[in-house]
Amino acid sequence: MAVPTHFKFVVRGHFIGSPETWSFSTKYSRNVTAGPDITTDDVDETACTSAVTALIANSHISSAVAVDDWRMYQMGTNNRLEDPTGPLLHLFPFETVKGTGTIRFPPQVSLVITSVAVNRGPAKKGRFYLPGPADAVNSDGRYTDAQAATYRTLASTFTKAISDAINYPLGESSEGLNISEGPPGSTTGTKQTIEHYECGRALDTLRNRRKSLLEEWNVGGHIDW
């Protein structure tokens, strides 16, 4: 199905000492009012790398979380990669960019960041998953509102920095987007500019959940009833 053209920014990594991996993506505008859409040639690689580093390399993210790479995909109206040469790719040296916080939870635990637009209907909301939250939960098993605000700020600062790294012509700028193939029957899909972010106070799990870490059951001996 068709969607508006956009950039898809993907961050990928792994959990140190574990076979588990993680990834998340955010989306940004690339259309120009009076000209052709901008391309990955207009993306500041250094600025994107700094944004990813600031998001992960801090005490609120577990020290088990390491970044492997980021990729900027130039997406066409068919919701597929438009550039035949592939995405703009930045590789990080092995386990050099990582969280500095306490390892508190299993690797599948994450925080959900919800992106909210103004209008009801398609592309009203989107989400991505922050891996490895490192702050301790409150007595009710959730983060406090202040703790959630800290993670929300990390997320919004990160996405604003990525949008700023997309170099538009003078007078225009890239925006964080929610993208949808709807409404049903649409020939163009829908995009909405993100108005604000929300952070859930309850811990969640990465979308792909645990898939590589072995269960390795501890088996007890025979019970003589």
pLDDT at 202: 95
pLDDT at 215: 56
pLDDT at 218: 60
**Structural contact between residues 135 and 96, judged by C-beta atoms closer than 8 angstroms:** no
Structure tokens at 131: 């891996």
Structure tokens at 216: 């390795």
- What's the rounded Cα separation, in Å, for the pair 173 and 153? 21
Mean pLDDT by 10 residues, the chain (225 residues): 95 94 96 94 98 98 98 96 94 98 93 96 96 96 96 97 95 96 95 96 74 59 77
- What's the rounded Cα separation, in Å, for the pair 51 and 28? 15
pLDDT at 221: 73
Q: Which sequence spans correspond to the domains of the chain?
A: 6-205
- Identify which of 130, 149, 143 has the alpha carbon closest to the alpha carbon of residue 197: 149
Burial letters for 69-98: b for 16+ Cβ neighbours within 10 Å, e otherwise?
ebbbbbbbeebeebeeeebbebebeeeebb
pLDDT at 219: 61
What sections of the chain are H helices per DSSP?
45-56, 145-164
- What's the rounded Cα separation, in Å, for the pair 32 and 169? 8
Type of residue numbered 147 = Q
